[in-house]
């Protein structure tokens, strides 16, 4: 199993002054940036959702199958890939507020075996280290064919850095987080995401498990050679990937993330680990400061599709760009498109 790691850039484009903007101007900005993406023939479909001051705009371009002319729509299901981790972070934040877990808990208190290897010179790995990618875990689980194998793989991990000191992106840690959340709530992780995030926000099209009808709406993606790629097959909890969603549901998710009165959102947006002078890790959010504004971002990349989700609380804006293609530069290209779209929305 292989996942695409988010490509992170510290530089963001931004406009210091925000003027009122009409829905027509937002639509023009979306169209401009989508068509710019489609000039690169490695891109086939582009779906963009923008939430500005509570008003949403979704638009779709290109084709889902090469040569078919079948443009995506608001019912099209994309794989969110690693953007799923932000849902994991939300549930973890709720668990902290519910006093089900503490950020400074040694993770081994939740495991059924001792795991003496999961420490560094007596320094334990904590829940916060899991959430911020600073626990020293390998990127990919050593074993991932099933949950039992995952725990066997944990025994083979060697922690080589002091927990909490070195950031190293990991697809292993969020799965362990999802397991811990299952254990403290005594419910399947999929059910926790549904109960805490999806149902309260009527995100009825966002789900891990698809029925037959859902699969007819699921995007089939391509690599840069225009070869059809397989969809992700979830074998573990879903802490790292596995959610599918639509542009309209992502608007609802952005609205949730912009809700300043939501205590779980506020907790999940906390700065937990400082990576640079203007860059932090939150509860699976990458937090960047630009012009005295905190911006929350996450990239998702899987075999045949990629996406960026970005939240701008100060400007009351959310942006999601999704595409049915995946190659090495996709994340960087989409990131630049998000930044340009943000600038176009906020043009003086």
Task: Decide: residue 154, CB within 10 A, 0-12 exposed, 13-18 middle, 19+ buried.
Answer: buried
Give the span between the Cα atoms of 235 and 241, in whole angstroms: 10
pLDDT digit string, tens, across residues 213-257: 999 999 999 999 999 999 999 999 999 999 999 999 999 999 999
- The answer to whether residue 158 scores a pLDDT higher than 50 is yes
Provide the token pair at 341: 């779209």
Structure confidence at residue 20 (pLDDT): 60
Alpha-carbon 231 to chain mean position: 17
Q: Is 338 helix (H, G, I), strand (E, B) or coil?
A: helix
pLDDT digit string, tens, across residues 108-129: 999 999 999 999 999 999 999 9
Provide the token pair at 248: 């309209």
- The answer to whether residue 15 scores a pLDDT higher than 80 is no
- The answer to whether residue 12 scores a pLDDT higher than 80 is no
Binned at pLDDT 50, 70 and 90, residue 201 comes out as: very high
- The answer to whether residue 54 scores a pLDDT higher than 50 is yes
Query: Which residue has tokens 């362990």?
Result: 176
Please give the domain boundaries of the chain with CATH numbers for all domains.
23-345 (3.40.710.10)
Give the span between the Cα atoms of 116 and 135, in whole angstroms: 14
- The answer to whether residue 89 scores a pLDDT higher than 60 is yes
- The answer to whether residue 1 scores a pLDDT higher than 60 is no
Does the global pTM surpass 0.95?
A: no
Structure confidence at residue 292 (pLDDT): 87
């Amino acid at each position: 199993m292989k996942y695409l790691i988010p490509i992170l850039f510290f530089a963001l484009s931004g406009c210091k002054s925000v003027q009122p903007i009409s829905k027509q101007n937002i639509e023009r900005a979306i169209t401009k940036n989508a068509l710019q993406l489609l000039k690169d023939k490695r891109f086939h479909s582009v779906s963009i959702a923008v939430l500005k001051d509570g008003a949403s705009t979704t638009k779709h371009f290109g084709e889902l199958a090469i040569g078919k002319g079948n443009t995506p729509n608001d019912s099209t299901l994309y794989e969110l890939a690693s953007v799923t981790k932000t849902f994991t972070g939300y549930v973890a934040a709720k668990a902290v507020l519910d006093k089900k877990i503490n950020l400074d808990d040694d993770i081994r208190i939740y495991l059924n075996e001792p795991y003496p290897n999961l420490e560094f010179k007596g320094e334990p790995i904590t829940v916060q280290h899991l959430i911020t990618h600073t626990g020293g875990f390998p990127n990919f689980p050593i074993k991932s064919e099933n949950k039992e194998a995952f725990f066997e793989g944990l025994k083979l991990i060697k922690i080589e850095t002091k927990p909490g000191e070195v950031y190293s992106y990991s697809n292993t840690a969020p799965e362990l987080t999802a397991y811990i959340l299952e254990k403290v709530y005594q419910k399947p992780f999929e059910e926790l995401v549904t109960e805490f995030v999806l149902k309260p926000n009527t995100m009825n099209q966002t789900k891990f498990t698809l029925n037959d009808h859902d699969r007819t709406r699921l995007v089939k993606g391509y690599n840069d050679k225009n070869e059809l790629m397989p969809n992700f097959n979830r074998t573990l909890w879903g802490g790292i990937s596995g959610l599918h969603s639509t542009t309209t549901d992502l608007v609802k998710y952005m609205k949730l993330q912009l809700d300043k009165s939501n205590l779980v959102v506020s907790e999940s947006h906390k700065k937990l680990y400082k990576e640079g002078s203007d860059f932090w890790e939150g509860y699976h959010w990458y937090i960047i400061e630009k012009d005295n504004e905190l911006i929350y971002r996450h990239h998702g990349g899987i075999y045949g599709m990629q996406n960026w989700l970005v939240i701008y609380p100060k400007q009351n804006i959310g942006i999601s760009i999704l595409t049915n293609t995946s190659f090495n530069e996709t994340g960087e290209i989409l990131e630049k498109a998000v930044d340009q779209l943000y600038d176009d929305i906020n043009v003086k």
